[in-house]
Amino acid sequence: MVTIFPASRFFSVLFITVLLALPPGARALDWPCFRGPEHNGISRETGWGTAWPGGSPAVVWKAAVGLGFSTLVVTEGRVIATGHKGGQDTVWCFEAATGKVAWSHSYPAPLGDKFFEGGVTGTPTIHGGRVFHLSRQGDFFCFELSSGKILWEKQLVKELGVTLPDWGFASSPLVEGNLLILNVGGSGTALDRATGKVVWTSDKEMAGYATAVPFNLGGTDGVRCVAIFTRRECVAVEVAGGKVRWRQKFVSNYDTNAGAPVIHDDTLFLSAYNVPGVMLNATDGTPVSGWATTTRVHFNAGVVTGGHLFAFHGQAGKPDGELRCLDWKTGATKWAAKGLGVGSLMAADGKLIILSEKGELVVAEASAAEFKPLARAQVLGGKCWATPVLANGRIYCRNAAGDLVCVAVR
């Protein structure tokens, strides 16, 4: 005899079973957007570790998604990835546990290989059962997460008349209430999350490449704003109506402002691959007096934990790359570790999760005293610039060629 449970009871039993399977004190979390749910590169997930049998984490599944540099997002048991092949970009949806393809959507797109391999760059965002994706050419899609059905789409370059950046759009959609904030136009654009209708936009100037970062201007009870790293400056823009509250000039070679602003304790860190980092007051955009560093951050913005910024210094693909630990308040370098190239990282449970430029996965203590690796294993080959993602006891990594690997770390 087969007993059929009501759906609500089934999912309640499943949820309790998953909780009981976790070690004491463990907590598993999704990673639904670029830089994670708190937009700072840090996960609150616990109960994962570095006791890897045979010295390497177990491979759960692999996939080939196509050329590109976007990272992965994970929620509701689904993984979203993007890649380019044969004149098309593809948005892939995988089952997180097995790697089975749930759905995919392809659309025509140029390779865009100006001074690099080309392919996709911007990371999609998952929110409210929907997937939001901005292509390098300004094609914007809203998919249903469960089925891949297109709920709405638009071409932003044609609709807004904005200038396409030299390397195409590369930012991720930021969800703020009912709005999607995009680094499109000179000082950003906001769309209605439900319909795609333009709520506000700025001028038609060329955009920067970094994802907008939310913060409250004036402290916890201040005005909700986003910091947008534009082509040649950083601007603080009110979420509700797009009003610019302050501007600070920041010019890099070839206008490649790509790393997301890092905001912590009412201060804001900016850098580019050929321009040393600066620290600004988040309230008015003025430079913090006495703060100085030689560190140049290319793509991955880094993470702040324990009063220190952990970030990669140097230009990707060049021999000067190293992982550095900086004092957040002064900019002083506490230590620098070579051998990882210009890779990427996130943090969780007091540890750094690092993917080197050549595909080595490294877990290290988030310590200002020294660089102390706890575990390391070669999980990929080729060029790796995309940030590794920890979600629900698994780490997801990809390389530029589009090789994706999911490894177990619970």
Task: Encode pLDDT of 324-344 as tens digits.
Answer: 999 999 999 999 999 999 999
Burial state string for 310-319 with b = 16 or more CB within 10 A and e = fewer than 16? bbbbbbbeee
pLDDT of 334 reads 98
Q: What is the rounded CA–CA span in Å between residue 229 and residue 219?
A: 21
pLDDT of 299 reads 86
Contacts of 353 (CB under 8 A, 6+ apart): 345, 346, 347, 361, 362, 363, 388, 390, 395
Contact 326, 320 (CB under 8 A): no
pLDDT of 2 reads 33
Burial state string for 99-125 with b = 16 or more CB within 10 A and e = fewer than 16? eeebbebbeebeebeeeeebbbbbbbb
Whether the per-residue pLDDT at 275 is higher than 60: the answer is yes
The answer to whether the Cα torsion of 182, 188, 193, 196 is positive or negative is negative
Contact 387, 70 (CB under 8 A): no
pLDDT of 25 reads 54
Whether the per-residue pLDDT at 355 is higher than 70: the answer is yes
Contact 64, 405 (CB under 8 A): no
Contact 172, 140 (CB under 8 A): no
* Domains of the chain, residue spans: 28-408
- Token readout for 156 is 């932003």
Class of domain 28-408: mainly beta
- pLDDT above 90 covers a percentage of the chain that reads 88
- Burial class for 335, CB neighbours closer than 10 Å (0-12, 13-18, 19+): middle
pLDDT of 10 reads 38
What phi and psi values does residue 81 have, to the nearest 5 degrees?
A: -135, 160
Query: Per-residue pLDDT tens for 383-407?
Result: 999 999 999 999 999 999 999 999 9
Query: Per-residue pLDDT tens for 2-54?
Result: 333 344 343 343 443 444 444 455 677 999 999 999 999 999 999 999 999 88
Q: What is the mean pLDDT of the chain?
A: 93
Section 76-82 average pLDDT: 97
Q: What is the rounded CA–CA span in Å between residue 51 and residue 29?
A: 20
Whether the per-residue pLDDT at 288 is higher than 50: the answer is yes
Cα R_g (the chain), whole angstroms:
21
Calculate the alpha carbon distances from 43 to 74, 180, 301, 352, 392 in Å: 12, 22, 15, 10, 10
Q: What is the rounded CA–CA span in Å between residue 210 and residue 184?
A: 10
Calculate the alpha carbon distances from 299 to 30, 75, 275 in Å: 23, 24, 12
pLDDT of 28 reads 77
Q: What is the rounded CA–CA span in Å between residue 134 and residue 173?
A: 7
Residue 148: what residue type?
A: G
Whether the per-residue pLDDT at 131 is higher than 90: the answer is yes
What phi and psi values does residue 8 have, to the nearest 5 degrees?
A: -60, -40
Whether the per-residue pLDDT at 1 is higher than 70: the answer is no
The Cα angle at residue 265 between residues 264 and 266, in degrees rounded to 5: 95
pLDDT of 162 reads 97
Contact 309, 293 (CB under 8 A): no
pLDDT of 319 reads 83
pLDDT of 15 reads 40
